[in-house]
Amino acid sequence: MTAATCRRWRDTEEFDAELADLPPAARWREWLLRVEAAIFASASPVARQALVRLVGRSCKFDDLIADLREELRGRPYDLAFVAGGYALRTKTRFAPAIKVAHPRRAGEGADLTRTENFVLTAIAYLQPVTRGEISRLAGREISRDVIASLKRHGLIDGAIRAPEPGAPFAYVTTQKFLDAFGFGTLRDLPDLERLEAEGLLDRGRAEGELDGALGLVDPETDEGVSGAELDDVEDY
């Protein structure tokens, strides 16, 4: 066992999750502050199981999370469940102020094109899905460059080989996709049945109809948005 491993083990052993020596109100408050601190200190969403280790066995964790959300009500950020974990996200109305204070640096990420927005949305709803299937949905050929760009952004990945001639890759979205667009799980995507009923998933329909499903296109400018911009606005 290395020295670093020994230190981590000792710190875990000495950590008092129960706080039995504190009165109930003070114990609850300390649990709440621990959970908030752990989320605040993390650059990525923190899994529930990791946070539960910070509190005692008698703690009703869902009630604690509800109290934390209530405490943050008057602050410029909220507690959100995204990408399978908890994270702090600044409120939408402060986006203009954040952009002024933190303008994007030159070369920091690239905007997604409308075609990339369309492909990303198609993958989100139809995954696992091949490039050929997306091309048929779009009514035109989707290039490998589009897929490569989304992979560079870390928003999609080739998960499996499809059981069809040539065994092409079938693509899926990643945890980074969930985090970037504020979804806890894929079940939080806008209702697919509604989109189908409105004809937005018909083969060969214009790309602009589907890529708006996730809010990936600015309705005022009709332009795509970038993952970097979303991170600037939503990450605390």
* Low-confidence stretches of the chain (pLDDT beneath 70): 1-13, 104-110, 192-236
Angle of the 114-126 helix axis to the 144-152 helix axis, nearest 10: 80
Q: Kindly report, residue by residue over 8-60, the tens digit of the pLDDT.
A: 545 556 899 999 999 999 999 999 999 999 999 998 899 999 999 999 999 99
Q: What is the pLDDT of residue 173?
A: 93
Q: What is the pLDDT of residue 228?
A: 37
Strands 156-161 and 169-173: antiparallel
Q: What is the pLDDT of residue 85?
A: 92
This prediction has a pTM of 0.57
> Looking at the chain, which residues constitute the CATH 1.10.10.10 domain(s)?
114-234
Distance CA 190, CA 121 (A): 11
Q: What is the pLDDT of residue 195?
A: 57
**Structure tokens belonging to residue 162:** 């499809």
Provide the greatest CA pair distance for the chain: 67
Distance CA 202, CA 200 (A): 6
Q: What is the pLDDT of residue 130?
A: 92
Distance CA 135, CA 231 (A): 29
Query: Could you confirm whether domain 114-234 is CATH 1.10.10.10?
Result: yes
Q: What is the pLDDT of residue 4?
A: 54
Residue 104 near residue 227, CB atoms below 8 Å: no
Q: What is the pLDDT of residue 236?
A: 38
